[in-house]
Structure 1
Amino acid sequence: MSISESVLDALLKRSPHLRPQLYFKSSLTALSHAMEDQVLASSGQPLIIASFQRERFYRQESHRYLRIAALTPQVYVLAAPETDFMNRSEEYETVAFDPSDQLSQEWHLVVIGQQYSACLVCRERTSLPSAADTAETTMDQTRRFEGVWTFDRQVSYHAAEILLDRILSYRPELAEKIAAAKAEILLPQPTKLEVDPDPFAQRLVTHLQAGQYKLLKAYRSIATQERKERLVNSITTAMRQSLNTDDIFRVAVEELGKAMQVCRCIIYRCKDTDTSAKITYEYLRDKRIASLVDQDWPLRDNPLFQAVAQQQTSVAIREALPAGIANTSTDPPLDLSPIKPILKRASIRSWLMVPVINQGRLLGMVELHHCQKEPHTWTDEARSLVESVASQLGVAILQSESYANLEDLNEQLEALERTRSNLIAITGHELRTPLSTIQVCLESLASEPDMPTELRQVMLSTALSDAERMRKLVQDFLTLSRLESGRVEWHLEPLALQECVDLALSSLRTRQSDAPLPKIQTNVPGELPLVKADGEWLVEVLAKLLDNACKFTESTGEVLIEAHPNGGKMLEVTIADTGRGIEPNRLEVVFDRFYQEEGALRRTAGGTGLGLAICRQIILALGGQIWAESDGRDKGSQFHFTLPLAQETAGTSGARAKNGRS
């Protein structure tokens, strides 16, 4: 059964003098609670009729009607069923009306007692929801109703009669009880009734205060969210404009310090294993506060930092006491006595430290300092805001590192491209030239059988020399490839350096052409300790460095070989010459593969440009270091490398060296 007639329309027909007013849902809630409180505060057995649009609305108020039902048997509750609401006669009468009934669009409450009466009869004004009303809470607060709320007893009688008739149509078995209600309660009453408005006033004031509190809370939440979004947006904008963490940190420390209204804000990069960090990015609200820029900020001895690094969550100090004991968010509170001088020097009274973390790795730290005498309490909203900023900084650092890695990869690709070009140029020159010479010599020998013996010998010598040149090039390629791929088996043993120098000099003089060598001097003391190395590869390094020194030094120049202990655990070897020298900006690149000072095709000295690269790979594999020094063009050069010492006594070392020279 569905009834299309509105209770409000029926009431207006009986009381044409009434003028409906507009109410919001929150106002009707306050008025309804005030009317219910009037019943709970009064004596007697009044008539209560409440109509809810849906069962779920009734469920929110059911506990109140249990209390009212304990005072009077004349309680009727109407609602459109959604789950288990149905017609029942228990603590009070429940009436389940058809959801299509006009009652589903209305809000009714009628209260009639011996000395008071009030009625609230309203109908919801339906309208299409706007795009902004998508949230259920927002739509609930903006629901509007039109209707009547009055203390007029005659109007309340009419409303009660209309609703009781509607109840009777759904539950005819209640005819006797409804008739008794009409006979006992809906009777002419004294013309003057005293209505106490105090419960209504109190309820409305309480509702207004609660609404004001909710409004203020909502404003604070909106303001906090706006600050968070503004800060995050500013950092995001800085990240989009630049991948440089310096620019991003400068923006973040300034914006965060201003937004949080702190005395000092600092941001720095760090790892959980660092002992200290240098402060570079700082915001100061008052220039009278001591600046921490360019100072070393202690980390290892800072209990607060250690707590943050271990927990990977923010930690706050509400008050740093003069004794160094702090009220903190940790349990138990931290003892800051170890950094008492830092607290005093930086005037820190309240401290918030938030880690910058990405993928479980500590990347940096955000710190906020309050320096006033009164302690500052760090709210959950403040900590959440700073944590959001720290999260964005973690993303910025990761992006910056990724960009730096990408730049490194690009540089490596460029180096590979240069290597490829050099390889083509060098192999083309170094292979084509000797091949052409060999071909000419062999063709001459084949086509001239009567060639004089002396000329034939010259042809053969030239062909053999160029074949050896090609062999060396191929050998250098293979050697470097084995070293770089890690396919070398190292045989480390204690060695006397003098033996290796003698073998390298012998190899140099054997391979040397008719061109005279510069004067070579050695200054290798016999009492030097033994080195731990692979003899074959160490001789290879010495031979290549000596060959390189002689190649770029005139025959009237000098080459000097020196050695001396370096740092107690290493032996340093130096091969110095008085030759062409190296420009200071090229002291590192001379060890690159295929590096040629004069260019691949414009050089007066032979070679593939692989010798120094091979030397570097060997020395690094033996556990040492290699580097070059020079004062510039035509001022000579010095090549240094270190080797680890063998763990032997001085007597054993000296005996080994003596046996090697005998």
Structure 2
Amino acid sequence: MQSQLKKSYKFAIKTSLYITFFLTLFTSVFLFYLNSLNILAIILFAIICYTFSFFVIQYRVERFIYRRIKKIYDDLTLLESTTLRKQPITTDMATLTKQIDQYAKDKKLEIESLKVREEYRKEFIGNVSHELKTPLFTVQGYISTLIDGGINDKKIREKYLERAEKGVERLIYIVKDLDMITKLEVGDLSLNVDVFDIVNLIEGVFDLLEMKAAKKKITLMFDMDYKEPILVYADRERIQQVLSNLIVNSIKYGREKGTTEVSIENLIKNKVIVRVTDNGEGIAKSNIPRLFERFYRVDKSGSRKEGGSGLGLSIVKHIIEAHDEKIYVESEIGVGSEFSFTLEKAK
């Protein structure tokens, strides 16, 4: 605990000087009138007076300020000010003011952060309940109809069971995505990093999504013919998931008879950037900052008709960030969108 008041020395020195000067002058005048003025006695008196005044003032000021500042520290400790508790108690007013200002700023930021988190939590719970409610009520409706007698009609039974199965599949899809994104956020999902050919992986994703693209007459293509393998260092399965999500989105929101183009470019010496570009409907600039949030949908009305859990882009972002890489998005309404992400090149 700090017991010295360094900056108070200046105060004590000046105050002691004023007291000494006054008392010495007063004593000198008094002795002059008594005709017993002694210079050596006056000097000795001044030294004794100054020394005594300095120590009394210094001690008293320190004790006076220390008691009050300790009360401030104690009050702040009740507010769990860990920053202040780690530091020794200072009786320097400038240092104390700085500490209190920093404490106030930290608390303000903490409160603002808690408000944002609370708002996000409310929105997230609302989104989860909404996403789960639709397929749950759908499945419940089909099953209730079957229980009420529809099961006796073979056509209704088969049709409603198929629809109920699709509703359950959608529920499983949402729960799996939620489980994955939770693991990604807490760092629980381990990455199996290895060297692989990104061109070969993209070709495989094209093959998987060819039928889906054909339904909207969308062409999946490279920007050029990649004759040589492009080797990257990443988790092949997770990067396949990233590409699948991005390409599925480009098909989902793409223009009929449009294109989805993938390009791979050297970014810097040890990095490549993979771009997924479409000529679809595009995304408004106001929506882009929230695009990677869980359950955030650009089109609140129509997007659910297209299916999906609403977690795809959020998962994409977390997978890329788990690789310590970056993901970018550029879009213009009526022109199309481009999602791009970086990967480490294999040496």
How big is each residue's C-alpha offset from its partner over 1:608-640, in whole Å with a ceiling of 9 and x where there is no partner?
43221211111122232111012x322211000
* Structure 2 residue corresponding to 1:448, chosen from 150, 162, 183: 150
Partners in 1 of 2:179 and 2:335 — Cα distance?
34
Partners in 1 of 2:238 and 2:139 — Cα distance?
31
- Partner in structure 2 of residue 642 of structure 1: 342
Amino acid at match of 1:499: N
- Partner in structure 2 of residue 149 of structure 1: 35
Partners in 1 of 2:104 and 2:282 — Cα distance?
37
For residues 207 and 598 of structure 1, do their structure 2 counterparts lie closer, same or farther at Cα, with a shift above 3 Å needed? Answer: farther
8 Å CA contact 1:579, 1:634 repeated in 2: yes
Q: Looking at CA atoms only, which structure, 1 or 2, has the larger radius of gyration?
A: 1
- Partner in structure 2 of residue 490 of structure 1: 191
- Partner in structure 1 of residue 63 of structure 2: none
Question: Which consecutive aligned stretches of 4+ in structure 1 deviate over 4 angstroms post-superposition?
Answer: 135-140, 142-148, 391-396, 398-408, 512-515, 599-605
Deviation at 1:444, TM superposition (A): 2.6
Higher relative contact order (CA 8 A, sep 6+): 2
For residues 475 and 621 of structure 1, do their structure 2 counterparts lie closer, same or farther at Cα, with a shift above 3 Å needed? Answer: same
Partners in 1 of 2:115 and 2:34 — Cα distance?
84
- Partner in structure 1 of residue 173 of structure 2: 472
Partners in 2 of 1:414 and 1:517 — Cα distance?
46
Partners in 1 of 2:168 and 2:145 — Cα distance?
17
Partners in 2 of 1:450 and 1:553 — Cα distance?
43
Partners in 2 of 1:412 and 1:505 — Cα distance?
42
Deviation at 1:573, TM superposition (A): 0.4
Is structure 2 residue 220 aligned with structure 1 residue 520?
A: yes
Is structure 2 residue 330 aligned with structure 1 residue 629?
A: yes
* Structure 2 residue corresponding to 1:559, chosen from 246, 253, 260: 260
Partners in 1 of 2:267 and 2:118 — Cα distance?
38
Deviation at 1:477, TM superposition (A): 0.7
The alignment covers a number of residue pairs equal to 284
For residues 451 and 587 of structure 1, do their structure 2 counterparts lie closer, same or farther at Cα, with a shift above 3 Å needed? Answer: same
Deviation at 1:428, TM superposition (A): 2.2
For residues 615 and 555 of structure 1, do their structure 2 counterparts lie closer, same or farther at Cα, with a shift above 3 Å needed? Answer: same
Partners in 1 of 2:215 and 2:34 — Cα distance?
121
Identity %: 24
Alignment partner of 2:35: what SS?
Answer: strand
Alignment partner of 1:634: what SS?
Answer: coil
8 Å CA contact 1:525, 1:563 repeated in 2: no
Provide structure 1 residue ranges, at least 5 long, that are not aligned to the other structure: 1-131, 151-199, 215-358, 360-387, 648-662
* Structure 2 residue corresponding to 1:501, chosen from 178, 192, 202: 202
Provide structure 2 residue ranges, at least 5 long, that are not aligned to the other structure: 1-14, 48-86
Amino acid at match of 2:190: E
Partners in 2 of 1:576 and 1:525 — Cα distance?
17
Equivalences for residues 601-616 of structure 1 within 5 A: 605-616=306-317
Partners in 2 of 1:535 and 1:519 — Cα distance?
24
TM-score normalised per structure 2: 0.68
8 Å CA contact 1:570, 1:642 repeated in 2: yes
* Structure 1 residue corresponding to 2:272, chosen from 547, 561, 571: 571
Amino acid at match of 1:527: E
8 Å CA contact 1:429, 1:601 repeated in 2: no
For residues 504 and 419 of structure 1, do their structure 2 counterparts lie closer, same or farther at Cα, with a shift above 3 Å needed? Answer: farther
Partners in 2 of 1:643 and 1:420 — Cα distance?
32
Deviation at 1:410, TM superposition (A): 4.2
Amino acid at match of 1:451: D
Q: Mean alpha-carbon deviation: is it higher for 415-424 or for 485-494? A: 415-424
- Partner in structure 2 of residue 314 of structure 1: none
Amino acid at match of 1:567: I
Alignment partner of 2:221: what SS?
Answer: strand
8 Å CA contact 1:577, 1:636 repeated in 2: yes
Amino acid at match of 1:471: I
RMSD: 3.9
Amino acid at match of 1:540: Q
Partners in 2 of 1:606 and 1:400 — Cα distance?
51
Amino acid at match of 1:452: K
Deviation at 1:429, TM superposition (A): 2.1
Q: By percentage of residues, which structure has more helix?
A: 2
Amino acid at match of 1:488: L
- Partner in structure 2 of residue 534 of structure 1: 235
Partners in 1 of 2:104 and 2:120 — Cα distance?
24
For residues 604 and 395 of structure 1, do their structure 2 counterparts lie closer, same or farther at Cα, with a shift above 3 Å needed? Answer: farther
TM-score normalised per structure 1: 0.38
Alignment partner of 2:325: what SS?
Answer: coil
